[in-house]
């Protein structure tokens, strides 16, 4: 899927024009995008509304989002690479958007994984998925990931930007980070206590790992929607560019989510109530140690539930239901 590329000059010109819109126009456009998000649930509209709202805040009072330009010691390279406004603007023109069906998200939410740098499907991609934290009312709406490295060369890192909503005080927020940083060293945002900031980084990193592993799994079904073809005309009309969208589902012939775990549940009848057991990914990255696995052909890999995950082989132990009786729903609460 080739990217519909616009010149750097046209990109810069579009955002300069948006910054020059009058306050009333910005407010109307931001509210319209917010209403589209409320109507459709698509986080891309929330991201556009948030960006316009931050321009409005920058013009009328104060915007921590645009003030992030000042947090990088006047280093132009850092400002362009990791400041929040630059990251979001890069996504608008150069990113792709992934969405997933509820069955896929439900499975990934119940899967544990190790967080490390993965091979990216695109240099800039977003995951349009509302992710709730263990703190009631605190949710991430839209996540964007940016590959770090020489163009056409090996990836050396991944920066991320997430935008979300805190219903506890009806506020929006943004948070940035680096996949390669240990969780304990992730940036603590002034908007939240340390524990809440760390929870946000944790769920961003877990979704990154689970999602990128899943899209390489044989059960992943991808449907591509080419939406960027008319972007040049859109920006001439003062409209935001559209990003190509890839929807991720489960192949029905491979995995029936409704029946997932039923057979295992029947073999664990000593438990009076049934409950979900978290799945996990195993990664066999040491090719010397796992010679036998790497000697298998395609059919043998499938028989052992193994799959090529970029340059290495992985195995997904899917979440399953254990026990019998009514399924116990575990409700996570902040303490």
pLDDT digits (tens, 9 = 90+) for 205-234: 999 999 999 999 988 999 998 888 888 888
Six-digit token pair at 230?
A: 């008319």
Q: Is 149 found in the same domain as 232?
A: yes
Residue 185 resides in a domain: yes
Query: Cα(188)–Cα(206) distance, rounded to whole angstroms?
Result: 18
Q: Is 29 found in the same domain as 86?
A: yes
Q: Is 264 found in the same domain as 245?
A: no
| 313 pLDDT more than 90 | yes
Q: Is 213 found in the same domain as 107?
A: yes
Q: What percent of the residues of the chain are helix, what percent strand, and what percent coil, each to the nearest 5?
A: 40, 25, 35
| Containing structural domain, residue 282 | 257-322
3-state class of 113 per DSSP? coil
The helix-helix angle for 8-19 and 84-94 (nearest 10°) equals 120
The more confident residue out of 37 and 10 is 37
Percentage, residues of the chain above pLDDT 90? 44
Query: Cα(255)–Cα(27) distance, rounded to whole angstroms?
Result: 46
Residue 261 resides in a domain: yes
- Answer yes or no: are the C-beta atoms of 186 and 197 closer than 8 Å: yes
Q: Is 138 found in the same domain as 45?
A: yes
Q: Is 276 found in the same domain as 203?
A: no
Residue 331 resides in a domain: no
Q: Is 226 found in the same domain as 100?
A: yes
Position 129 scores a pLDDT of 95
Position 261 scores a pLDDT of 43
For every residue of 34-87, DSSP letters joined together read HHHHHHH--HHHHHHHHHHHHHHHHHHS--HHHHGGGGGTT-HHHHHHHSHHHH
Position 258 scores a pLDDT of 44
Rg (CA), the chain: 21
Q: List the beta bridge partners of residue 248.
A: 100, 222
The helix-helix angle for 23-40 and 43-60 (nearest 10°) equals 160
Q: Is 311 found in the same domain as 165?
A: no
Q: Is 198 found in the same domain as 52?
A: yes
Domain boundary (250, 269, 296) is at: 250
Put the strands of the sheet holding 171-178 in their side by side order.
171-178, 157-166, 138-148, 124-132, 96-100, 245-250, 220-225
- Whether the CA torsion 319, 321, 322, 327 is positive or negative: it is positive
Which pTM was predicted?
0.84
Q: Is 232 found in the same domain as 272?
A: no
Q: Is 119 found in the same domain as 265?
A: no
Nearest by Cα to 130 from 119, 121, 139 = 139
pLDDT digits (tens, 9 = 90+) for 106-144: 889 989 999 999 989 999 999 999 999 999 999 999 999
- Answer yes or no: are the C-beta atoms of 177 and 204 closer than 8 Å: yes
What is the number of domains present in the chain?
2
Tokens 């943004």 correspond to 174
pLDDT digits (tens, 9 = 90+) for 282-292: 999 999 999 99
| 256 pLDDT more than 60 | no
Residue 77 resides in a domain: yes
Q: Is 214 found in the same domain as 263?
A: no
pLDDT band at 266 (very low <50, low <70, confident <90, very high): very low
């Amino acid at each position: 899927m080739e990217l519909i590329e616009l010149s750097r000059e046209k990109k810069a010109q579009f955002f300069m024009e948006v910054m020059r819109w009058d306050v009333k126009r910005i407010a109307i456009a931001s509210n319209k995008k917010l209403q589209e998000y409320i109507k459709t649930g698509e986080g891309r509209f929330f991201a556009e509304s948030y960006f316009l709202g931050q321009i409005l805040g920058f013009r009328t009072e104060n915007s921590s989002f645009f003030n992030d330009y000042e947090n990088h010691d006047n280093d132009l390279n850092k400002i362009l690479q990791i400041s929040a406004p630059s990251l979001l603007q890069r996504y608008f023109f150069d990113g792709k958007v992934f969405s997933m069906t509820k069955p896929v998200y439900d499975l990934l939410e119940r899967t544990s994984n190790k967080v490390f740098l993965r091979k990216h499907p695109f240099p800039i991609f977003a995951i349009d998925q509302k992710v709730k934290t263990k703190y009631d009312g605190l949710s991430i709406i839209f996540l964007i990931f940016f590959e770090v490295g020489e163009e056409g060369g090996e990836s050396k890192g991944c920066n991320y930007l997430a935008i979300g909503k805190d219903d506890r005080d009806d506020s929006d927020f943004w948070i940035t980070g680096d996949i390669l940083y240990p969780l304990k060293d992730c940036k603590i945002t002034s908007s939240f206590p340390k524990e809440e900031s760390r929870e946000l980084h944790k769920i961003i990193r877990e979704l990154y790992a689970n999602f990128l592993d899943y899209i390489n799994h044989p059960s992943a079904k991808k449907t591509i929607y080419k939406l960027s073809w008319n972007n040049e005309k859109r920006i001439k009309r003062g409209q935001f560019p559209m990003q190509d969208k890839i929807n991720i589902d489960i192949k029905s012939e491979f995995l029936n989510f409704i029946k997932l775990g039923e057979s295992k549940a029947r073999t664990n009848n000593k438990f009076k109530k049934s409950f979900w057991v978290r799945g996990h990914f195993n990664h066999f990255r040491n090719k010397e140690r796992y010679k036998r696995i790497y000697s298998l052909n395609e059919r043998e890999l499938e028989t052992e539930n193994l799959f090529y995950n970029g340059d290495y082989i992985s195995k997904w132990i899917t979440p399953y239901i254990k026990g019998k009786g009514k399924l116990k729903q575990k409700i996570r609460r902040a303490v």
